[in-house]
Chain A
Amino acid sequence: MNTVEDRLRDAYRAAAETVRPETVLAEGVRGLRDDDPPRARRPRRWPARGRLLIPLAAAAAVAAVAIGASVLLPRPAPDRSGPPQTAAAGRGTPAFFVALNWSLHPSMVVVNATTGTRGATIRLPFRATELTGVATGDGRTFVAAARTAACRTSLYRFRVSARGRPTTLTRFASVPGVIGSPWDMALARDGRTIAYATLACGQPRKAYLAVVNTATGQMRRWTFGVGTASAGQPFQDCTGDVSLSAGGHLVAFCDRVLRTNAPPGSLVRRGRVVARSGEFGPSVVLGGLEVAPDGKTVYFDTFRVRHDKPTWRGWQLRAFDLATGRTSLVRSLPGTQGTPAAVAPDPTGRFLMIEYALRDGPTRLARLDLATGRLTPLNARWVVDAAIAW
C-alpha cells in the first residue's frame, strides 16, 4: 500500500466504518410521518456573548513595546497603469477589493467591486504555509498575514492599483502568535496601524489583542481571557473578530469596542458592549462586529439558531450608534444565512459588501448602499466564505 490513492481509500474505509449501519437505520427518516415526530437532536450549547470572556487567571498587563521588525511604509509610488476606472459605486469607493476564499483556495484574488468579476490572483510567498488574513484601510494598501514557522505570523504588504493590478507581496514584519482567522486582523486608513488578535504558544494558551504602528514599532497589547485549547479544538473564549476605524482610534472585537489608547491589560470587563446574543430574541445570536470607517457606527449581524445550526428564517444586519447607544435594523434577508465573512465596509463608509448563503446553494455577494438602502447582487458565484478587504 504505497500510493496516495491506496492510503486514501484505506483511511476513508476505516473512518466510514466507524458508522455502524444499525445506528443509522434504527429509526428511519425522523419526522417523516405525523406519528413519527422529529427526534430531539443532541442538544448543543451556543455560546452566549455574555459568557465569551471568562475571568483571567492573571491580568498580564503589557506596556507598549516595540515589535522586533518595525519598518517604514514605502512611499506610495505614482500609479502609471493608466487612467483609473470609474469608482465602483461612489466617489472614493475603490473599484476593486481583495478576497480570500478562506475555505476554498489558499490564495487571494482581486475582484471588481461592481461586477464581482475576478481579476489577478495574489499568491502566497514561497515560505508562507498558510494565508490567514487580509485587510485594508484605504482600499489601495493591503496587509496579508501568513503563518510561517510554528506559532509566528508574517505580515506582507502589497498595493492594488486603481486598475486592479496588484504589486508583489513584501514581507515587512513578523509577530508572535497565530492570527487564527481572516477576520482577526484590520488595517487603518494610514496603512500603518494594524489591529490583530493572536493566540500565543504554550499552555495555557494566551490570546492577545494588539494594535501596532508599523512605522514606529509601537505596540499596545491587551490580554483576552485565558482558556485551554488543544490542536484541532477551538479556543473556549472569543478572542478575535477584529475591525478598526479608519483613524485607528477604535477597535471592535467579539461583542465590544475599545479605544486604542486604552491602557494595556486585561480585556475582561473592558470596552463597551455593543450587543449580546439573546438581546433580539431567545434564539437570536450575534454574528461578527464591524466598526464603520468613521468610528461612529458599529454594524453587526444577528441570526436565528435551532439545534445549534443557523436557520434560514432571517439573517439581519443591524447598526449600533455609538453616540446614542441605539440599535437600528439596516437590512433583513429572509431565506438566507450569513456567512462568517458577512459584512465588509468600503473606505468611504457608504457601502457594505455582504456575503450570504442561499438555501441549499453556494454563497453570494451583494453590495449594500447605506445611503439608499439598495442591495445590488454581484455576479460572484466563485465566492465561498470569503474574507473581503475593500
Chain B
Amino acid sequence: MATNTADSLGKASQPAPSADDFVDEMFRAHAVSLVRVAVLLLGDQPSAEDVVQDAFLRLYRGLPGLRDRDKALPYLRASVINGARSVLRARRRALLRRSPHEPAVWSAESAVIDGEARQEVLLAVARLPRRSREVLALRYYLDLPDDEIAAALGVSRGTVSSTAARARAALARALKEEP
C-alpha cells in the first residue's frame, strides 16, 4: 500500500513529457513495428512509411484531446489500419484506371522475400478479404490479444475470432495444410 502511494506520488511529481517529446518517444519505440505491420497490409515500404508518418502526425495534433496517454498506442494502431484502408481504396481507384504502384513484397516482381514457401503463404494471404488480412497481421505478427485487435479494427471480439478462424481455414485450403 505504502509502495503504491509512493509510486503514485512519484509519478505525480514528474512533469508529463511535452507533446514533442512524447511523440518522439512513441516513434522510437513503435514506429518500426507499425511500419512493418503496414507493409504486411500494403505490401510496400514507401506506402507503409507514409501511413505511419500520417498516424504519428495525427497523434501529435490530437494529443491535447487524448485524456489517457496509455491509449496512444491503440490510437496509433487504429490510425495505421485506417490509413492502410485509405491507401488500398486509392489503389483500387488507380486500378480502375490501371495506374501502377509499387510491387508488393510478396509479388513475383519483388525479390526481397527469401523462399518460395514464404511467398506462397503471403500470396495466399493477399487473396483473402481485407478484414481477414488485418486480423491475421495483428494476431500473428504483432501477437495482439483479440480484444486489442477488436479495438484497432473497430469490431467485436467475436468478429475477430470468427474472422481469424475463417482466414486460417481459407489459408489451409490454399496451402493444402492442416488448419
Contacts and interface: CB of A to CB of B under 8 A. Distances in A.
Interface of A: 2-5, 7-19, 21, 23-25, 28-33, 41-42, 44-47, 49, 52, 102-106, 180-181, 183, 227, 230-241, 254, 287-288, 307-310, 337-340, 357, 360-362, 384-385
Contact of B108 (A102, A230, A235, A361): A230
B104 interface: yes
A8 B24 contact: no
Nearest to A237: B98
Contacts of B37: 16
A18 B113 contact: yes
Identify whether the interface residues of A are mostly helix, strand, loop, or mixed: loop
Contact of A12 (B28, B35, B99, B141): B141
B40 A15 contact: yes
A19 B82 contact: no
A44 B175 CA distance: 35
B178 A25 contact: no
A74 B118 CA distance: 48
B96 A183 contact: yes
A362 B154 contact: yes
Interface residues of B, number: 73
B103 A233 contact: yes
A14 B115 contact: yes
A3 B31 contact: no
What 5 pairs between A and B have smallest CB-CB spacing? A16-B36, A11-B121, A11-B118, A12-B141, A340-B92
Contacts of A385: 89, 92
Contacts of A233: 100, 103, 107, 109
Interface stretch (B7-15, B48-56, B65-73, B144-152): B48-56
B177 to A, nearest CB: 5
Contacts of B87: 309
B45 A19 contact: yes
Contact of A103 (B35, B92, B175): B92
Given A337-B86, A362-B154, A384-B130, 14 more contacts: A3-B178, A4-B177, A5-B140, A7-B177, A9-B141, A15-B40, A17-B36, A29-B24, A30-B53, A103-B88, A231-B107, A241-B97, A307-B50, A340-B89
Contacts, number: 195
B98 A239 contact: yes
Given A32-B20, A232-B107, A181 B122 contact: no
Contacts of A230: 108-109
A276 to B, nearest CB: 12
A303 to B, nearest CB: 8
Nearest to A44: B101
Given A11-B121, A104-B131, A25 B31 contact: yes
Nearest to B132: A104
B168 interface: yes
Contacts of A239: 98
A37 B42 CA distance: 26
Given A25-B31, A384-B130, A52 B109 contact: no
Nearest to B136: A8
Contacts of A102: 92
B45 A18 contact: yes
A47 B96 contact: no
A232 B175 contact: no
A340 B86 CA distance: 11
Contacts of B86: 309-310, 337, 357
8 contacts: A4-B171, A12-B137, A28-B24, A32-B20, A32-B23, A357-B89, A361-B82, A385-B92
Contacts of A235: 98
B158 interface: no
A146 B119 CA distance: 26
B35 to A, nearest CB: 5
Interface string B115-147: 101110110010001110000110011000000
B99 A46 contact: yes
Interface string B20-33: 10011001100110
A44 to B, nearest CB: 7
A46 B90 CA distance: 11
A21 B32 contact: yes
A100 B179 CA distance: 27
B45 to A, nearest CB: 6
A52 B97 contact: yes
A25 B32 contact: yes
B93 A310 contact: yes
A226 to B, nearest CB: 12
A230 B98 CA distance: 12
Given A3-B177, A47-B98, A234-B94, A14 B118 contact: yes
A228 to B, nearest CB: 11
A78 B27 CA distance: 64
A357 B130 CA distance: 16
B32 to A, nearest CB: 5
Contacts of A28: 24, 27
B48 A10 contact: no
A237 B97 CA distance: 7
Contacts of A360: 58, 79, 82
